[in-house]
Chain A
Amino acid sequence: NAGVTQTPKFQVLKTGQSMTLQCAQDMNHNSMYWYRQDPGMGLRLIYYSASEGTTDKGEVPNGYNVSRLNKREFSLRLESAAPSQTSVYFCASRGPGAPMNTEAFFGQGTRLTVV
Chain B
Amino acid sequence: AQSVTQLGSHVSVSEGALVLLRCNYSSSVPPYLFWYVQYPNQGLQLLLKYTTGATLVKGINGFEAEFKKSETSFHLTKPSAHMSDAAEYFCAVSGFDDYKLSFGAGTTVTVRA
Contact A100 B42 (CB under 8 A): no
Q: How far is the CA of A109 from the CA of B42 in the complex (A)?
A: 7
Residue tally, chain A, CB below 8 Å to B: 27
Residues of A in contact with B (beta carbons under 8 Å apart): 4, 31, 33, 35, 40-45, 48, 50, 56, 58-59, 90, 92, 94, 99-101, 103-104, 106-109
Q: How far is the CA of A46 from the CA of B4 in the complex (A)?
A: 17
Residues of B in contact with A (beta carbons under 8 Å apart): 6, 9, 32, 34, 42-46, 49, 51-52, 90, 92, 94-106
Q: How far is the CA of A59 from the CA of B100 in the complex (A)?
A: 10
Q: How far is the CA of A94 from the CA of B97 in the complex (A)?
A: 15
Say which residue of B44, B95, B97, B106 sits within 8 Å of A106 (CB atoms). Answer: B44
Say which residue of B42, B90, B99, B102 sits within 8 Å of A31 (CB atoms). Answer: B99
Contact A58 B96 (CB under 8 A): no
